[in-house]
Chains A and B, each alone.
Chain A
Amino acid sequence: MRRRTYISLMLVMLASMVFAQKSHVTKALKYYQAGKLDTAKSFIDSASVHPETVSDPLTWYYRGFIYKEIYNKHEKSDKESPSRVSAIQSFHKFLEMDTVGKLKESTLKSIQYLSTTIYNDAATSLNVREYQLAVSNFENYKKYMRFVDPTKDFTDLDIQFHLVLGQVYTQVYEKDRKANQAFFNKIKDVYYYVIELDSNNLSANYNLGILYYNEAVNIIKQLDYETDLITLELIQDECVGLFKQSLPYMHKAYELNPKRRETLIGLSGIYFSLNELEKSDEIQLQLEQIEKEEQR
């Protein structure tokens, strides 16, 4: 496929050389062929703003290839590579202007290739230091892949990405709950988004249940004994509210897999904290039965 793309690029280059020998485009192509990418870049950039060549779709087609090559040669380790973006934008512009269609396939392949590298960079940025980059690259990936296939369904990928993102946000939050208070809502939003995409997603339901539950437990855990009774009443109200918010999601996780150990522990814990001891014991019993079955 790469070879075919290369051949078609060469053919178009030859044709261009015949009809526009003196243009900056031609010079850019010459330098591109010679591997002098910096010079090729400055010629194609000036061609892309020159009145004679700006409206020529091929200017943008070549620009895409030149920038793609710059990315491949010099910016592969840069997760925010500006040349990669310029390449995709140039290819996209070409597609918008092109009426012939001969180069469409190779252009789409190039966009798909570059978008995939953006996705890969998003995936490898899913960590506590680079999550912002991961989010922006993931959104860019979707945007650029829509140039290739406007009907592409990203649901499954979106779910997987956001579940891992939720985990990353949780790590940030757990590190310092006070300083990173805003992450509580970020985590919540991520799981709500996944549930919106798939209401039967076990991970999102369980993790949302755990998020609310842990928040309340942590508030109680951190309470100073000096807290007066009136404040204690207010804190109880807040915590009961959180436990109640936790319950439907943990219950949903339980419905989705009634034998999952972690869910049973979570559900029993929520009922216990809500002082609904009979229900808590009932779930605890189920857990013990499952553990007995596992031992057999």
Chain B
Amino acid sequence: MRKLFVILLFLMLGTQLLVNAQGSSNFNTQAKMKAMFIYNFTKYIEWPSSYKEGTFIVGVLGESPMYDNLVEMANTKKAGVQSFEIKKYNSSSEIDKCHMLFVPKDDSGKLNEALKKVKDYSTLVITEQENLCSEGTGINFVIRNNRQKFELNKNKVEAKELKIASSLLSLAIMCPQ
């Protein structure tokens, strides 16, 4: 019987280890999801012919956990025949010609400056804060029923000479004009 108790003790210790060993992952699920959407946008949106040469530039203003996912995407995928180039802009003044510009939530206050910087380019501006859809952004990530969705400002996007596939329109939440 003594041996039984020894093994029981071992089992109980094992259980304690179990509790401490299975930590939760630090993986950012939201960031990966958004990066997946962004990659898809490159398939459903067509840029003017002058933008179909060189690298396909995705700019990120400030810090975003999605940056690493975009780099991962850039290392493995292409936008059509164009290789991706992920650019990090530390401030609005650094923004130059790019295909997409992502403005993270924490930098939403810089949206107007960013919009001014890309006003002459066919840049799809993407944000991630409620109510920004009508503020001049092209696509705005929102949460609906715990799910990642996106609002699309058709007029703004088309004003940038970007062509939107009808299938993307059917999946988007359309921005009130």
Instruction: For residue B6, give the distance in angstroms from its CB to the closest CB of chain A.
Output: 9
| Known pairs A160-B12, A213-B24, A232-B37; A275 contacts B143 (CB<8 A) | yes
Instruction: For residue A57, give the distance in angstroms from its CB to the closest CB of chain B.
Output: 27
Instruction: For residue B92, give the distance in angstroms from its CB to the closest CB of chain A.
Output: 25
List chain A residues, Cβ under 8 A from B36: 223, 225, 227, 232
Q: Which residue of B lies closest to A244 (CB)?
A: B146
Interface residues of chain A: helix, strand, loop or mixed (majority): helix
* B4 close to chain A: CB less than 8 A: yes
Interface stretch, picked from A20-28, A92-100, A177-185, A202-210, is A202-210
**Which of B22, B30, B145, B171 contacts A229, CB < 8 Å?**
B171
Contact with A along B46-78 (1 / 0, CB 8 A): 000000000000000000000000000100110
* A157 close to chain B: CB less than 8 A: yes
B:1-49 near A, CB below 8 Å: 1, 3-4, 7-8, 10-12, 14-15, 17-27, 29-30, 32-33, 35-37, 39-40, 44
Instruction: For residue B152, give the distance in angstroms from its CB to the closest CB of chain A.
Output: 12
Distance A253 CA – B146 CA, assembled complex (angstroms) = 22
List chain B residues, Cβ under 8 A from A203: 15, 18-19
Distance A167 CA – B17 CA, assembled complex (angstroms) = 9
Contact with B along A49-60 (1 / 0, CB 8 A): 000000000000
Instruction: For residue B145, give the distance in angstroms from its CB to the closest CB of chain A.
Output: 8
Residue pair A240, B146 in contact (C-beta under 8 Å): yes
Distance A216 CA – B27 CA, assembled complex (angstroms) = 11
List chain B residues, Cβ under 8 A from A220: 27, 29, 32-33
Contact with B along A205-249 (1 / 0, CB 8 A): 011001001101100110101111110110011011001100000
**Which of B14, B35, B148 contacts A236, CB < 8 Å?**
B148
Instruction: For residue A235, give the distance in angstroms from its CB to the closest CB of chain B.
Output: 9
* A120 close to chain B: CB less than 8 A: yes
What's the count of A-B pairs with C-beta under 8 Å? 121
Q: Which residue of A lies closest to B76 (CB)?
A: A225
Contact with B along A93-113 (1 / 0, CB 8 A): 000000000000000000010
| Known pairs A237-B147, A243-B146; A124 contacts B7 (CB<8 A) | yes
List chain A residues, Cβ under 8 A from B15: 160, 163-164, 167, 203
Distance A126 CA – B19 CA, assembled complex (angstroms) = 17
List chain A residues, Cβ under 8 A from B1: 112, 116
* B168 close to chain A: CB less than 8 A: yes
Interface size on A, residues (CB 8 A): 50
Q: Which residue of A lies closest to B142 (CB)?
A: A275
Interface size on B, residues (CB 8 A): 42
List chain A residues, Cβ under 8 A from B11: 123, 126, 160-161, 164
Distance A221 CA – B17 CA, assembled complex (angstroms) = 26
Contact with B along A149-165 (1 / 0, CB 8 A): 00000000100110110
List chain B residues, Cβ under 8 A from A167: 14-15, 17-18, 21
Residue pair A207, B171 in contact (C-beta under 8 Å): no
B:125-173 near A, CB below 8 Å: 143, 145-148, 167-168, 171
Chain B contacts to A: CB under 8 angstroms? 1, 3-4, 7-8, 10-12, 14-15, 17-27, 29-30, 32-33, 35-37, 39-40, 44, 73, 76-77, 143, 145-148, 167-168, 171
Task: List the 7 closest A-B pairs by CB distance, nearest first.
Answer: A275-B143, A266-B24, A123-B7, A167-B18, A163-B15, A225-B39, A269-B24
Chain A contacts to B: CB under 8 angstroms? 112, 116, 119-120, 123-124, 126, 157, 160-161, 163-164, 166-167, 170, 202-203, 206-207, 210, 213-214, 216-217, 220-221, 223, 225-230, 232-233, 236-237, 239-240, 243-244, 262, 265-266, 269, 272-276
11 further A-B contacts with Cβ under 8 Å, apart from A163-B15, A167-B17, are A123-B7, A126-B14, A164-B11, A164-B14, A167-B18, A203-B19, A206-B22, A210-B24, A229-B44, A275-B30, A275-B148
Q: Provide 22 A-B residue pairs closer than 8 Å at the C-beta atoms, listed in order of the A residue.
A: A116-B3, A120-B3, A120-B7, A123-B8, A124-B7, A203-B18, A217-B25, A223-B32, A226-B77, A229-B40, A229-B171, A232-B33, A232-B36, A232-B40, A236-B147, A239-B29, A240-B147, A243-B146, A244-B146, A265-B23, A269-B24, A276-B146
